[in-house]
Amino acid sequence: MRADIIKKAALRRKYHVRKKVFGVPERPRLSVFRSNRHIYAQITDDIAGATLVSANSIAKTLRDQLARGGNKQAAQSVGEAIAKQALGVGIKCVCFDRNRYKFHGRVKALAESARKAGLVF
């Protein structure tokens, strides 16, 4: 019963954020998901329903550099990686979807490192 209540609350928070954030081809959506062990980011065009670019702390390029995949250092590395890939594809401006998470800690570290690497949001 308790787990069901927690899942419903998480979905409610997620929908609260998603009703304001929508990715279009000119400005796709940068979505963040974090687990206890890893962090994931993807850039999505919601009209086409396609993922344009993705990066995570499980990828071989980042896994070798990181001691752990679920800390701020991993989030910064994923932010830099997603920004480099996006700029390589020609995406400069995105709208940030923090999902259901507060903008602090690992989510904030990912966002700030993506901004430093050249993404605008």
With H, G, I as helix, E, B as strand and everything else as coil, classify residue 119: coil
- The answer to whether position 60 is within a domain reads yes
Q: What is the pTM of this model?
A: 0.88
For residue range 43-92, list pLDDT tens digits in order.
999 999 999 999 999 999 898 888 898 899 999 999 999 999 999 999 99
Taking alpha carbons only, the member of 89, 90, 64, 88 closest to residue 77 is 64
- The answer to whether position 66 is within a domain reads yes
- The answer to whether position 121 is within a domain reads no
Q: Domain range for residue 108? A: 2-116
Contact 28, 121 (CB under 8 A): no
Grade residue 18 by pLDDT with cuts at 50, 70 and 90. Answer: confident
* CATH number, domain with residue 21: 3.30.420.100
Contact 42, 76 (CB under 8 A): no
Residue 1 predicted with pLDDT over 80: no
Contact 43, 51 (CB under 8 A): yes
- The answer to whether position 18 is within a domain reads yes
Residue 92 has what pLDDT?
96
- The answer to whether position 69 is within a domain reads yes
Cα 95 from Cα 57, distance rounded (Å): 21
Taking alpha carbons only, the member of 16, 53, 30 closest to residue 107 is 30
Lowest mean pLDDT among 14-23, 27-36, 45-54, 112-121: 14-23
How many domains does the chain contain in total? 1
